Amino acid sequence: MAAAQIEANKDLVRRYYDELWNRWAFDTIGGILTPDVTFHGSLGMSATGHEGFIAYAETVRAAFPDFHNTIEELVAEETKLVACLTCRGTHQGDIFGVPPTGRTIEYAGMALFLFRDGLISHLWVLGDRLSLLQQLGAVAAI
């Protein structure tokens, strides 16, 4: 039973990135996130519920319309999962007060997922914001 649950959670996280982030298919959100999902994102913003999550994702989409997450590794237990990611996109909209640069960005990230009733209920994302800001020219490279 535990192995089957772990695989189901991995499949759900793959859907989360493919459908909600890589394709912006928000019409599938009900089969991926609980209605009261709690989301803490790398941009320093938190959101609750489907509408809050979509608003957060739209902020990212406005800045990086071609934003894409590649899952590098998934590490899971029965009710928790960590995803190691590579995030990529082209800076085409304002973010962090930085106007569009047209630059292609790439940075590493990790996310911790918790599950309830076969859906994602809590999510914490930690992306390499320093690298992102350096690539946007907002801070000097160290």
CA distance 27 to 54: 10
Is residue 115 one of the residues assigned to a domain? Answer: yes
Does 16 map to a domain?
Answer: yes
Q: Is residue 140 part of a domain?
A: no
Distance of CA 19 to the CA centre of its chain: 11
Domain of residue 122 covers: 2-135
What local confidence, expressed as pLDDT, does residue 1 receive?
58
pTM: 0.94
Among candidates 23, 101, 128, which has minimal Cα distance to 65? 23
Per DSSP, 95 falls in state B
Residue 84: C-alpha distances to residues 8, 70, 77, 119 (Å):
18, 9, 15, 19
What tokens appear for 91 in the block? 């800076």
Inside any domain, residue 87: yes
Query: What CATH number has the domain bearing residue 107?
Result: 3.10.450.50
Q: Dihedral through CA 59, CA 73, CA 115, CA 44, nearest 10?
A: -30
The per-residue pLDDT string of the chain (142 residues; one tens digit each, 9 = 90 and over) reads 599 999 999 999 999 999 999 999 999 999 999 999 999 998 788 999 999 999 999 999 999 999 999 999 999 998 999 999 999 999 999 998 999 999 999 999 999 999 999 999 999 999 999 999 999 998 887 7
Per the structure, the count of domains in the chain is 1
Length of the chain: 142
